Amino acid sequence: MKIEPEDLKGFQRLWKEQFHLDLGEQEAQVKAIYLLEMMKAIYRPIPKPQILEANKQLSILDFNQSNS
């Protein structure tokens, strides 16, 4: 996976803002790729039946809390 130089610079800037640490170009490349691979592995659209079930459970919780 190749990360464009301007995207890598942005990643380095965000890393410094968040963690107050400078990353070299090589280390930033490795960390950015790890982050992208992790996001690719865990980010999936939620199937519609699962959304409907979650909304139903939330509405039950809201109803129970408002009647307490």
Q: How many structural domains comprise the chain?
A: 1
pLDDT value at 61 more than 70: no
Closest by CA to 8, choosing from 40, 49, 36, 46, is: 36
CA diameter of the chain: 57
Q: How far apart are CA 33 and CA 5, in angstroms?
A: 13
Domain that includes residue 14, residue range: 5-66
Which strand (E) or helix (H) includes residue 51? helix 48-66
pLDDT value at position 47? Answer: 79
pTM over 0.75: no
pLDDT tens, position by position, 11-49: 999 999 999 999 999 999 999 999 999 998 888 777 788
Q: How far apart are CA 8 and CA 25, in angstroms?
A: 8
